[in-house]
Structure 1
Amino acid sequence: MRDVAAASGVSQATVGFVINDTPTQTISPATRERVLRAAKELGYVPHAIARAMREGSSRIVVLNVDARLEGNYSRSYISGLDDELALHEHILVVKHGHPTDESTAHLTHMVSPRAIIDFAANYSSGNELADGGWTDGLAAHTAIQMGHLADCGHRRLAMALPEHQTAFARAREEFARQAVERLGLPPLVSVAMPEPDAGGVETLRAFLRDEPVTAIAGFTDEVALRVLKSAAALGVRVPGDLAVIGYDATAYAALSSPGLTTVHIDAEAHGRRAARRVLGLTESGLIAAPAHVVVRESV
């Protein structure tokens, strides 16, 4: 910084203000250009550790994401989050798995992140929007899934859930129940759907025997595909006897037979919104592309 200051004819403090783009300081365009040119010519790069000590945290943002939730939403969310952070000279680190208080404390001690974002909690709690997600969040996307089944004439709906319940799964189920109630349909019923080779076939057989449903909404595409495969093993015709719809449009949905109808969600704007939130910037002007149903043969 001393060399940059000497080369550009300004103080070290001014170099710091320019390099860090300090919003409270007014630097003339000519001076800013002179400092940046000198920094480039001298190969100056801010020292990350020193900057972290000064700012109280590193310029790293950590995203905790459950790999089982990977789909268009998570991919587009991560893309938007990463791009927006990069615009403001921050780096995204994606951590897969189930965070605990101990692992979070260890991570904080190791890298002093600017923020730690819980992907599932952010989406399921409606933190992306003030209305709890009924406009463009988990609730709204779940309602689109249920609404498509209702639009196709189905009245008795079910949701197929993963065997191991999480807060995210419970949130999806609750939003599905509320969406079905809003549609004026009979109460939603649910089934925990294991893999076909791990009891899924018998689970579906018993469920369809006890519940007169005509359509099942999968918690994710993966769970919906379990239903499709188990139905085929039972000789249940899809969509003739049972309609099945997935969620979040993974690549596998187009490869099943019949092709899996699913909900496509683009969350790039959600990711950008989260980046601006943790950086203390305005979130205005970020409009997410609307979710929509990808219609295939399973409904």
Structure 2
Amino acid sequence: MGRSGRVTLSDVAKASGVSRATVSFVLNNDPRQTISATTRQRVMAAAQDLGYVPHGIARALREGSSRVVVLNVDWGIEGNFSRSFVRGLDEELAEHDHILLVRHGHSIPEATQKVLDTIAPRAVLRLGEAYMQGHAPNEEDWENGFAANAAVQIRYLAERGHTHIAMAMPDHDFPLTEARLGFSEETARRLGLPALERFVVPRPRGAGAAAVREFLQAHPEVTALAAFDDIIALRSLTALRDLGLRVPEDVAVIGFDETEHGALTTPALTTVHIDAEVLGRIAARDALGVGTGALAPVPGRIVARASV
């Protein structure tokens, strides 16, 4: 082995009894070289036995980029959507002999540049970037995109007779907050509902209850809370229970981007389930420059439980 302990091309060459150049031709499947099947099999067997792994940086220099795709996921974009997106992206990249590197949280430009300089990624993606940059939804977005998922939540409440709805919000902004609010408000407008009210449900339990009490006292006409996500929905459920209010008889609550926790509460949380695996696969194919074929987004769906 090499001095670093990493198996090198020279180690494979020595074990298979051929030159280092021949090993390189075989492992890179160089079509310009004529190498016998017997030699190829011997080299591949030696590489497998030794556990040889190609040097990523060296290969990046040869190919112009590595076989790594970087995905940046901002804080707050967490839940079934991000997990399923990452799963689809990872699996699709693997099928095309690429690997995925996921970076969570806010990244300063200097740190990002170090990553790019080190691994020379094939592509760098950011989850939800188009909407963060103010992408205006088209009809496709309203059929099976982010706008459609936001619409599912508001429409479900409206179909159950709720005309005065409030958005229960987190106590700090997330990258997709404005886009999400815009889609929900546009949905209410399309349904002919009054403008959505909005208020913040803060993290401390006592503060959350106080915020809900103050809001409902100021807006007694509100009969349903559409939560920004399941976490805010659970805060709202706890606050309503602490205030002695019944869910859904007094106030209905619906979550968004289903987590497993909503099924464990009393009453169990109605929410919106979003499967973004196919979106991850589409993103992978776009990054690699291959056709997306028949892949198409799957609209969000309601998980009906007892809170609405």
Q: Give me the TM-score of the superposition, normalised by structure 2.
A: 0.83
Give the aligned partner of residue 259 of structure 2: 250
The question of 1:59 aligning with 2:75 is answered no
1:142 to 117, 141, 150: 150
CA distance in structure 1 between the partners assigned to 2:108 and 2:283 by the alignment: 21
Matched, 1:72 2:72: no
Distance 1:74 1:39 in 2: 41
Distance 1:32 1:96, change over 3 A: farther
State the partner residue of 1:50: 58
Query: Where does residue 116 of structure 2 map in the other structure?
Result: 108
Matches of 1:35 and 1:142, distance apart in 2: 58
Quickly say closer, same or farther: Cα 1:111–1:74, change in 2 above 3 A: same
Residue 273 of structure 1 corresponds to which residue in structure 2?
A: 282
Paired residue secondary structure (2:143): coil
Gaps in structure 2 of 5+ consecutive residues: 1-8
* Residues 251, 13 of structure 1: alpha-carbon distance in 2 compared, 3 angstrom cutoff: closer
Distance (whole Å) between structure 1 residues aligned to residue 292 and residue 134 of structure 2: 15
Are 2:41 and 1:41 equivalent residues in the alignment?
no
Find the counterpart in structure 1 of residue 299 from structure 2.
290
Shift of 1:192: 1.6
* SS of the residue 1:282 aligns to: coil
Report the CA distance shift for 1:239/1:122 in structure 2 as closer, same or farther (over 3 A): same
User: What residue number does 2:222 align with?
Assistant: 213
> 3-state DSSP class of the match of 1:158?
strand
The 1-side partners of 2:33 and 2:38 are apart by 11
- Once the two structures are aligned, what percentage of the paired residues are identical? 44
CA distance in 2, matches of 1:75, 1:89: 21
Distance 2:38 2:275 in 1: 41
How far does residue 124 in structure 1 lie from its aligned partner after superposition? 5.9
Q: Residue 188 of structure 1 corresponds to which residue in structure 2?
A: 196
**1:59-116 Cα deviation digits (max 9, x unpaired):** 2212111353322111111110000111112111111111232332232223222222
Q: CA shift at 1:189, angstroms?
A: 1.2
Secondary structure at the residue paired with 2:225?
strand
Aligned residue for 1:237?
A: 246
- 2:29 maps to 18
**Matching of residue 201 in structure 1 with residue 212 in structure 2:** no
**Does the 8 A contact of 2:77 with 2:174 survive in 1?**
no
Please identify the structure whose Cα radius of gyration is greater.
2
SS of residue in 1 equivalent to 2:76: helix
Question: Matches of 2:263 and 2:71 in 1, distance apart?
Answer: 29
The DSSP-based 3-state class of the residue aligned with 2:141 is coil
Tell me the SS of whatever aligns to 1:106: helix
| 8 Å CA contact 1:143, 1:179 repeated in 2 | yes
CA-atom RMSD in angstroms: 3.1
Letter in 1 for 2:295: L
Q: Mark the CA change 1:147 to 1:39 in structure 2 (over 3 Å): closer, same or farther.
A: farther
Contact 1:126/1:137 (<8 A) preserved = no
Aligned residue runs from structure 1 range 86-165, under 5 A: 86-122=94-130, 131=139, 133-165=141-173
